[in-house]
Structures are given as C-alpha cells and as structure tokens.
Amino acid sequence: RGSVDYKDDDDKTISCTNPKQCYPHCKKETGYPNAKCMNRKCKCFGR
C-alpha cells in the first residue's frame, strides 16, 4: 500500500520546533529511524 507507518502515542511523543529534536527521541522510544515535527509534536515513522 505504500502508506507510512506513523507512531505518535500521546504518552511518548514530545513537543518540538524542529525535526532534528525528534530523531533521537524516535529512535530511543520507538526504534523508528525517521521523524517529522507536525503540529509541534514529534511523529515517528519507519520509512
């Protein structure tokens, strides 16, 4: 399907202003290598 696997458990997401803040968090909390900052919250995804 090619859809992106987003993960944003509210208890695990952190606020952000820049995706760079999300990468270490996402890797540690979810194991996902990629991240975006959307609506001031980190979104973690696998591809």
Domain span at residue 20 reads 13-46
Residue 3, pLDDT score: 61
Q: How many domains does the chain have?
A: 1
Query: Per the domain annotation, does 18 fall within a domain?
Result: yes
Query: Per the domain annotation, does 31 fall within a domain?
Result: yes
Query: Per the domain annotation, does 33 fall within a domain?
Result: yes
Q: CA–CA separation, 10 vs 40, rounded Å?
A: 13
Global pTM value: 0.72
Query: Per the domain annotation, does 4 fall within a domain?
Result: no
Q: Which two tokens stand for residue 13?
A: 């997401």
Identify the CATH number of the domain in which residue 25 sits. Answer: 3.30.30.10
Query: Per the domain annotation, does 41 fall within a domain?
Result: yes
pLDDT tens, residue by residue, 20-44: 999 999 999 889 999 999 999 999 9
- CA 42 to mean position of chain CA atoms: 4
Query: Per the domain annotation, does 35 fall within a domain?
Result: yes
Q: CA–CA separation, 2 vs 40, rounded Å?
A: 25
